Amino acid sequence: MLTYDLENRGGLPLYEYLYRCLRDDILSGAVAAGTRLPSKRALAEHLRISIITVEGAYQQLAAEGYVIARPRRGFYAAPVDHPPAAPALVEVPAEESSPRWRLDLKSGRVDSFPSAVWARLTRQALSEGGHLLPTPHQGLPALRRAIAGDLRDFKGMVVSPEQIVVGAGAEYLYLLLAQLLGREQVFALEDPGYPKIRQVYAKWGAVCRPIPLDGQGMALESLRASGAGVAHISPAHHYPTGIVMPIPRRQALLRWAEEADGWIIEDDYDSEFRFTGRPIPTLQSIDARGRVIYVNSFSQTISPSMRVGFMVLPPRLLERYRRELGFYASTVPALEQQVLGRFLDGGWYEQHLSRTRKKYRLRREAVLEAFAACPFTAGLTDRGAGLHFLLRLNTRSDDEALRRRAEGLGVRLGFLSEYAAVPDPAYAHTLVVNYAGLDVERLGETAALLSEVFF
């Protein structure tokens, strides 16, 4: 009969150790498939253990399929692979570790996370249990009401909370929109432009057409010629050119959407940072025909690590969204939705915005002044908005050579030419400066380091 040394079992419970011994014998073939195991009573007596212990081991073996229990006949070893596929020691490719830059003009984001208020609101939300409420796929009603209120008070947008869909960041919303608008659509994208927009739509399998920009934004004739049914634009402050789309072009795009029976995705990224004058009315707010899908997020204004964005759907699309995509669960934790809703309702968000706006305005002025005086600067394009500007370089070197040279010195640069799908010599020798992460106290060093790169 099966005999095992049950003394040296390394702290395992008796039934579990017995289970393992039997399992290993079945796997190794020592107990062949079809073999009847000893009865529980017989094995218990043989090993001088209780029947309950044997029972536990046999049941586990049966549950996992190593043995087959036949009523009133006993337990039989099941046919299994010998030897079992052992987990191989696999080589896992290591992640690219992100280098520590001495200077980073490409991402350059600072984080202005309002930790103290956030902690207080989180504690409140947890103690009141609001985070346990079921979360509809469009997001918590309280958060959507707060967002609609903020859009009304600070952007003059008349939006019902029912039109709002909350999601885990702008990219996730692009992915939802790709699914909503359909793969057969042609997407017109600003060129140059933010590469992730193209990446998401292209992954989805949609045809993406790069549309050149003139001084006012997406060029209309090219848009018309593209056959696109969807235009994804960022009129408030285009990345990376910084163009702010004037009213006539906004109106012309709305007319295009009506004529083409198309949709405009208004990506309102960066609109909160306008340093001169009032914010320009969004396309959504002057859209009478329900052609505009408004998208924004809290990544720039609170923190990129927050992962909360939202979109405002026109009524026609709303029904389609609910019918076709309503099965998706909300992607943002209920707790975070609660806290963000309170943050907006309590006025902390606007307070926070006003504070960061002031901070960035000062930083922007200092950086522009310092860079204007540098010999490597041929010109600055300052549109009075957003967290980046363009700097034309006083150089004839190739962008790629400069980028490599900079990397060697621990400096990360972003060039306008990198953002173009269709290359154009006009884009050369132009830096996209994301200034928000720069240290104003060290602008002298920064300028010196950049001079090393460019001369």
- Nearest approach in angstroms of CB 192 to its own copies is 17
Site for its own copies in 200-219 (CB under 8 A): 200, 203, 205, 216
Based on CB atoms, which residue is closest to its own copies, 64 or 424? 64
Measured from the CB atom, the residue of 134 and 444 that comes closer to its own copies is: 134
Distance CA 442, CA 444 (A): 5
Q: Give min distance, CB of 2 to its own copies, in A.
A: 19
Positive or negative CA dihedral for 321, 302, 123, 143?
negative
For residues 236 and 280, the answer to whether their CB atoms sit within 8 Å is: yes
Instruction: Note whether 99 binds its own copies by CB under 8 A.
Output: no
* Distance in angstroms (rounded) separating the CA atoms of residues 72 and 272: 76
C-beta of residue 436 within 8 angstroms of C-beta of residue 359: no
191 is a contact residue toward its own copies (CB under 8 A): no
- Please state, in angstroms and rounded to a whole number, the distance separating the CA atoms of residues 298 and 348: 13
- Judged by DSSP in three states, 133 sits in coil
Q: How far is the CB of 97 from its own copies (least distance, A)?
A: 9
Amino acid of residue 153: D
Our CB check for its own copies shows the closer of 38 and 136 to be: 136
- Considering only the stretches 37-45, 330-338, 351-359, 369-377, report the one whose residues sit in contact with its own copies under the rule CB under 8 A: 330-338
242-261 binders of its own copies (CB under 8 A): 244-251, 254-255
Structure token pair of residue 107: 């991402």
133 binds its own copies (CB under 8 A): yes
Chain residues 398-437 in contact with its own copies, contact rule CB under 8 A: none
> How many whole angstroms separate alpha carbon 325 and alpha carbon 404?
44
Q: What's the one-letter identity of residue 309?
A: G
DSSP H/E element including 439:
none
Query: Which stretch, 128-136, 371-379, 395-403, 439-447, contacts its own copies (CB under 8 A)?
Result: 128-136
**Of 206, 180, 187, which Cα lies nearest the Cα of 318?**
180
**Tokens describing residue 337:** 């939705």
Cβ atoms < 10 Å from Cβ of 374? 17
**124: its two tokens:** 């409140």
Q: Closer CB to its own copies, residue 222 or residue 285?
A: 285
Nearest distance from C-beta of residue 452 to its own copies, angstroms? 26
Residues 104-123 binding its own copies (CB under 8 A) are: 111, 113, 115-116, 118-119, 122-123
User: 445 by DSSP, 3-state: which?
Assistant: helix
Q: Which of 329, 396, 425, 441 binds its own copies (CB under 8 A)?
A: 329
Using the minimum distance from each CB to its own copies, give the nearer residue, 135 or 429: 135
Based on the shown chain and the rule CB under 8 A, indicate whether residue 305 belongs to the binding site for its own copies: yes
First to last CA, the chain: 86
Q: Are 371 and 433 in contact (CB under 8 A)?
A: yes
Sole binder of its own copies in the list 29, 41, 154, 199 (CB under 8 A): 199
Report d(CA 99, CA 117) in Å as an integer: 32
The interface with its own copies within residues 17-46 (CB under 8 A) comprises: 19
* CA pair distance 447, 438, nearest whole angstrom: 11
Asked if 149 touches its own copies (CB under 8 A), the answer is no
Q: Is 153 a binder of its own copies (CB under 8 A)? A: no
Binding-site member from 30, 32, 52, 65 for its own copies (CB under 8 A):
65
Judged by CB under 8 A, the number of residues near its own copies is 107
Which is nearer to its own copies, 254 or 393 (by Cβ)? 254
Among 53, 163, 271, 296, binds its own copies (CB under 8 A): 163
Give CA angle at 165 (223, 210), nearest 5°.
20
Instruction: Please tell me whether residue 335 binds its own copies under the rule CB under 8 A.
Output: yes
CB distance 187 to 209 below 8 Å: yes
Q: Is 288 in the site for its own copies (CB under 8 A)?
A: yes
**Closer CB to its own copies, residue 66 or residue 273?**
66
- To its own copies, the closest distance from the beta carbon of 308 in angstroms equals 8
